[in-house]
């Protein structure tokens, strides 16, 4: 009997379809996983910005978690926009109640347009209640700075920030480089409790169509982990997935458009995009490195 890996996203709805629950479910589907969702908040959102935020009450979040937990065999899950401390607590309790493993935390704080998707006082709840449950936490640079209290200005401070985040109890962290000032390279830095460090590097694409990049990356990682892929392979697939999604923009909407969630699969099927994975010892620090 053929079946698919069941994976879950606990996140906010983006009416514009480029980020949040919608990006996650599209990504799960593209990568051949069966996606379930727990909606934490509804946003009225498009490519121009966030126009309204309507958080669910805790009971609604708990009932959705219970509906999933009592019926599905969840192999990996991710969190996205959680908005407030009550939803974070409910989420952490649900994850423990059902013994879900392979938790990817995308600590969503501020949308690209500037709207706050997490209340200030909820940052502490993420750090204390959720991060200790994480297999991998995937902050962007500003989020890593908030979580670690360290300004990331170079590679040394990026590593210090990663170590500070690991000290909160996550098994691994990947600090994504989309917000770095490097004009040529988008480089993500992974570090785990065993001291394994991996760099995911790609050409930085000159595009404004970046709405939902972080959601899409963490959803791809979750799908691959749920399918049973080893962490390193899942990381590189996620990087390839987002690179393809950014390289083939759809030009939807009048602002920061969504990425193209179908591009990775289409590229592979048509064999038009070759995302090269080659190990390299260009770096003398021993970091595993692949180039695209
Ligand atoms: N212009 C770009 N070109 C290539 N990759 C990018 C670009 N912007 C972001 N990425 C990649 O997209 C993923 C999400 O990164 P980032 O934009 O930092 O996260 P977030 O959406 O959470 O702010 C990372 O793998 C990052 O390297
Ligand atoms: C519901 C929801 N979740 C997450 C994001 C973050 O995505 P981005 O950082 O690309 O704006 C978003 N804009 N909306």
Which ligand 2 atom sits nearest the alpha carbon of residue 110?
Answer: 9
Structural contact between residues 114 and 144, judged by C-beta atoms closer than 8 angstroms: no
pTM of the model: 0.94
* 174-194 per-position pLDDT tens digit: 999 999 999 999 999 999 999
The CA 41 to ligand 2 mean position distance, Å, reads: 12
* 36-45 per-position pLDDT tens digit: 999 999 999 9
Which ligand 2 atom sits nearest the alpha carbon of residue 213?
Answer: 10
List the single range of 23-32, 76-85, 113-122, 276-285 with lowest mean pLDDT: 276-285
State both tokens at 148: 């670690």
Structural contact between residues 228 and 33, judged by C-beta atoms closer than 8 angstroms: no
pLDDT at 67 over 90: yes
* 77-134 per-position pLDDT tens digit: 999 999 999 999 999 999 999 999 999 999 999 998 889 999 989 999 999 999 999 9
- Provide the 8-state DSSP code for 131: G
Helix (H, G, I), strand (E, B) or coil at 74: strand
Answer CATH for 6-290 from 3.30.428.10, 3.40.1190.20, 3.30.450.40, 3.40.50.300: 3.40.1190.20
Q: Report residues whose beta carbon is within 6 angstroms of any ligand 1 atom.
A: 140, 176-179, 186, 188, 202, 204-205, 207, 210, 213-214, 217, 239, 242-243, 246
Q: Average pLDDT of the chain? A: 92
State both tokens at 198: 């991996």
Burial class (CB in 10 A: 0-12, 13-18, 19+), 11: buried
Predicted ipTM beyond 0.95: yes
Q: Report residues whose beta carbon is within 6 angstroms of any ligand 2 atom.
A: 11-12, 14, 19-20, 43, 45, 80-81, 108, 111-112, 117, 211-215
Give the confidence band of 277 by pLDDT, cuts at 50, 70, 90: low
Burial class (CB in 10 A: 0-12, 13-18, 19+), 219: buried
* 143-180 per-position pLDDT tens digit: 999 999 999 999 999 999 999 999 999 999 999 999 99
Nearest by Cα to 24 from 167, 201, 226: 226
The CA 28 to ligand 1 mean position distance, Å, reads: 18
Give the confidence band of 272 by pLDDT, cuts at 50, 70, 90: low
């Amino acid at each position: 009997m053929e079946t698919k890996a069941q994976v879950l996203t606990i996140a906010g709805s983006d009416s514009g379809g480029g980020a949040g629950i919608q990006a996650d479910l599209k990504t799960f589907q593209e990568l051949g996983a069966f996606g379930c969702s727990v909606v934490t908040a509804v946003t009225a959102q498009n490519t121009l910005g966030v126009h309204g935020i309507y958080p669910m009450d805790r009971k609604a979040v708990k009932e959705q978690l219970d509906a999933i937990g009592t019926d599905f065999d969840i192999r990996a899950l991710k969190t996205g926009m959680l908005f407030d401390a009550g939803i974070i607590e409910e989420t952490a309790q649900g994850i423990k109640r059902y013994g879900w493993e392979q938790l990817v935390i995308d600590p969503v704080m501020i949308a690209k347009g500037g709207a706050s998707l997490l209340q200030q006082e909820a940052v502490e709840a993420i750090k204390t209640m959720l991060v200790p449950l994480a297999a991998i936490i995937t902050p962007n640079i500003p989020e890593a700075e908030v979580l670690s209290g360290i300004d990331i200005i170079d590679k040394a401070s990026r590593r210090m920030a990663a170590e500070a985040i690991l000290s909160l109890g996550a098994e691994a962290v990947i600090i994504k480089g989309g917000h770095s000032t490097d004009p040529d390279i988008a480089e993500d830095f992974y570090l785990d409790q065993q001291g394994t460090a991996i760099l995911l590097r790609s050409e930085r694409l000159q595009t404004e169509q970046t709405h939902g990049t972080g959601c899409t990356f963490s959803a791809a990682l979750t799908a691959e982990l749920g399918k049973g892929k080893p962490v390193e392979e899942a990381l590189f697939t996620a990087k390839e997935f987002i690179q393809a999604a950014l390289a083939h923009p759809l030009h939807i909407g009048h602002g920061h458009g969504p990425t193209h969630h179908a591009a990775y699969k289409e590229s592979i099927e048509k064999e038009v995009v070759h995302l090269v994975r080659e190990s390299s010892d260009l770096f003398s620090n021993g970091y595993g490195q692949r180039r695209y």
